[in-house]
Structure 1
Amino acid sequence: MKDKLPILFKATVSFAILAFIFTRIDLNQIATRLQYLSLPFIIFALLFYTGCQWLSCLRWQVVLKSAGYHIPIPYLLSSYFAGMFVSIFLPSSVGGDFYRVYRITKVIDAPETAFASVFLERFTGLAAVFALALVGIPPALKIIGSWDIVLLFLVCACVIWGGFLLIASPLLLSWSRPWLKKIRLGGLCDRLDKVQLIVIQYLKHRQSLGLAIALSFVVQLSIIFYQYLLAQQLKIPISYLELLVFTPISIVVTLMPISLGGLGIQEGLWAYLFTRIGLTAEQAVLLSLTFTILGWVLALPGAIILLLDSQGLKNTK
């Protein structure tokens, strides 16, 4: 029961926020605008978003190549879909990341390298998000006119980077080791020692690192453009530049593991931000939920991959 408490808490947070939002918006407006979503556009949107995931896998492949492993893009993409599907049912994307580690480990038989590759793929992606968010803070301040969202972003950024530094920094891990051993996580320290050696070696590959970060910017800008296309289809008058300002900030805030994959937090945050540029709360919530639900639809092939993986696991027993 104790293991389920964090998930129950985060599910409660997500659904409580959504319930609060839905009692204060006009659901009829949302239903009316949903009619603008045609089947051809939905298919196009899913294909476009699949292209964004393909770019993420290309970034992941660059990281793995620097460690001496070449894994075909189709296998990485199938792992990405499986991770996306797993993440739907877990409090954050971390569960999906661990499943990606599991699938790569089956191929290369090197758990620490598999973990490091997923960590570095996620790290380079977040580096681009943080860079865009920092650039977007001045215009966001001008639009919002208050420091509350900026302070929230900075707090979340510090917490997230603290977790990354614990994995990447030998000095911080050395300082944390006695405390981790007290809570019986000494074995984790030993694994992190090996992961850090791989991470440090990767950071020496300047060309691979630069390519991965460049791909991360392309991925993030493409995803924001995807959101812009959704907004245009739903007749929501928001510009690409406005999304470019707000989306990276909201991504950082929703990464905090206090809800189910940011569900509820994102809708509330978008409603707060987008009403500052003349949109209604209904438009902001609709855009956020449409983006989330299409992401869930795109993750459905991951269920087939999980089923095949489970059958393969049973056959090896």
Structure 2
Amino acid sequence: MRAGVSTALLSWLLFSLDWQETWAALRGINPLFLLIDVLLIAAAVGVSVVKWRLILKVQGIGVSAGELWNAYWVGLFFNNFLPSSIGGDAMRIFLIGKNAGNTPGIACSVVVERVLATLGLAMVGLGASLFSGENLLNIRVLFIILVAVSLILAAVLVWGRIPNFLKRGNGKAAHFAGSFIQYGGCLGKKPFVVFQVVIWSAFFQVINVAVNYYLFKGLGITQVAFDKALFLIPATAAAAMIPVGINGYGIREGAYVALLAHYGVSRSLAFTASLLYAFLVSMCSLWGGILWLRSNRKIEGKCFGTTGT
């Protein structure tokens, strides 16, 4: 079903493109802007590592920044090459949970980080839209809903209580769920750290906006200033969260086309910007695939290695 939705939307957009305009824009793109974007994507991963480590420290789970850096790249790789963003989060939980010997705690940290990241996205988008001076009621309502849902989920994760049936349960599932909630409660005792993670999440979104902004400049899209991109790009990211397609494909591209059209950007250029962004992130995430292969080879070497004579 999801594959059908993404395929249908992408097909409709592809058939409606002005391919001459698309190829002209791609041929004329300045490689310097692509290099800047690669550096910004790496910086965004670095910010993600910082906020993830803040959560883990409060939970009393010691994991080096290097391990988190590698795991995040591997997760990004699986996000882009599996038909669900959950795959990347599962890989992060698996890799760090295995090394730390604490899967419930790591799982909790990943879920909390995801929820606070969504809150950061909504806050940036809402704030930028309020100061834009434009009539953006629909976009503001979208961000207000995201803020409300994120706050509710964060409150449940951070200040929730362990249900009695979990306290009485003896199975693995009950133990995992109880431990998960306990680790969330650690953050409830450190609200300032939660605030820090939200601020880092907002900074992450600003970097993501900058990635798109430099793509716009490279493609010759001059109608969208940075202050406008600060609410347009989070709006496309929010649209891509709607669970009706694969990894947001089709939904995100449609959002780019619809939102940028308001500023006089052609359908072809808007669609090209969206696909180029997805392509660039996917290519950068290949580094995570390399790290994954290297880690597997090390494991195989330990299991099947021979001793010297």
TM-score bin, normalised by smaller chain: 0.7 to 0.9
- Aligned to 1:80, which of 47, 52, 72? 72
Which residues of 2 match residues 72-111 of structure 1 at below 5 A? 72-111=64-103
Contact 1:81–1:299 (CA under 8 A) maintained in structure 2: yes
User: What does the per-residue CA deviation read over 1:187-231, in whole Å, with 9 as the maximum and x for residues that have no partner?
Assistant: 645422211111111121133222222211211112112211111
Amino acid at match of 2:12: F
Aligned to 2:272: 286
Aligned to 2:258: 272
Return closer, same or farther for 1:91/1:164 CA change in 2, 3 Å cut-off.
farther
1:254 deviation in Å? 1.0
1:152 deviation in Å? 6.0
CA distance in 2, matches of 1:213, 1:248: 15
CA distance in 1, matches of 2:157, 2:265: 41
Aligned to 1:134: 126
Return closer, same or farther for 1:40/1:272 CA change in 2, 3 Å cut-off.
closer
Amino acid at match of 2:25: R
Which residues of 2 match residues 38-53 of structure 1 at below 5 A? 38-53=30-45
CA distance in 2, matches of 1:107, 1:258: 34
Contact 2:77–2:289 (CA under 8 A) maintained in structure 1: yes
Contact 1:156–1:256 (CA under 8 A) maintained in structure 2: no
CA distance in 1, matches of 2:284, 2:110: 20
- Helix, strand or coil for the counterpart of 2:105? helix
- Helix, strand or coil for the counterpart of 2:82? coil
User: What does the per-residue CA deviation read over 1:115-138, in whole Å, with 9 as the maximum and x for residues that have no partner?
Assistant: 112122222221111222333555
Which residues of 2 match residues 42-191 of structure 1 at below 5 A? 42-136=34-128, 138=130, 142-143=134-135, 147=138, 170=160, 174=163, 188=173, 190-191=175-176
- The TM-score, its normalising length taken from structure 1, stands at 0.83
CA distance in 2, matches of 1:281, 1:60: 37
Aligned to 1:222: 207
Question: Identity, % of aligned pairs?
Answer: 21
User: What does the per-residue CA deviation read over 1:142-193, in whole Å, with 9 as the maximum and x for residues that have no partner?
Assistant: 445x74x56666677777777767756746x85999xxxxxxxx86454222
Count of paired positions: 299
1:285 deviation in Å? 1.0
Contact 1:17–1:264 (CA under 8 A) maintained in structure 2: yes
Contact 2:126–2:140 (CA under 8 A) maintained in structure 1: no
- C-alpha root-mean-square deviation of aligned residues, in Å? 3.0
Moved more, 114-123 or 49-58: 114-123
Amino acid at match of 2:78: V
CA distance in 1, matches of 2:190, 2:148: 26
Return closer, same or farther for 1:233/1:56 CA change in 2, 3 Å cut-off.
same
Contact 2:123–2:147 (CA under 8 A) maintained in structure 1: no
- Aligned to 2:198, which of 213, 218, 242? 213
Aligned to 2:6: 14
1:195 aligns with 2:180: yes
User: What does the per-residue CA deviation read over 1:224-257, in whole Å, with 9 as the maximum and x for residues that have no partner?
Assistant: 1221111112110211111112222222221123
Moved more, 69-78 or 130-139: 130-139
- Helix, strand or coil for the counterpart of 1:84? helix
- Aligned to 1:311, which of 291, 297, 301? 297
Amino acid at match of 2:288: G
Return closer, same or farther for 1:194/1:254 CA change in 2, 3 Å cut-off.
same
- Helix, strand or coil for the counterpart of 2:262? helix
| Runs of 5+ consecutive residues of structure 2 not aligned to the other structure | 305-309
CA distance in 1, matches of 2:16, 2:87: 33
Return closer, same or farther for 1:23/1:189 CA change in 2, 3 Å cut-off.
farther
User: What does the per-residue CA deviation read over 1:29-85, in whole Å, with 9 as the maximum and x for residues that have no partner?
Assistant: 111101233444323321221011111111111111112233232221111111111
Aligned to 2:235: 249
- Helix, strand or coil for the counterpart of 1:70? coil
Contact 1:92–1:255 (CA under 8 A) maintained in structure 2: no
CA distance in 2, matches of 1:176, 1:264: 42
- Helix, strand or coil for the counterpart of 2:11? helix
Contact 2:123–2:143 (CA under 8 A) maintained in structure 1: no
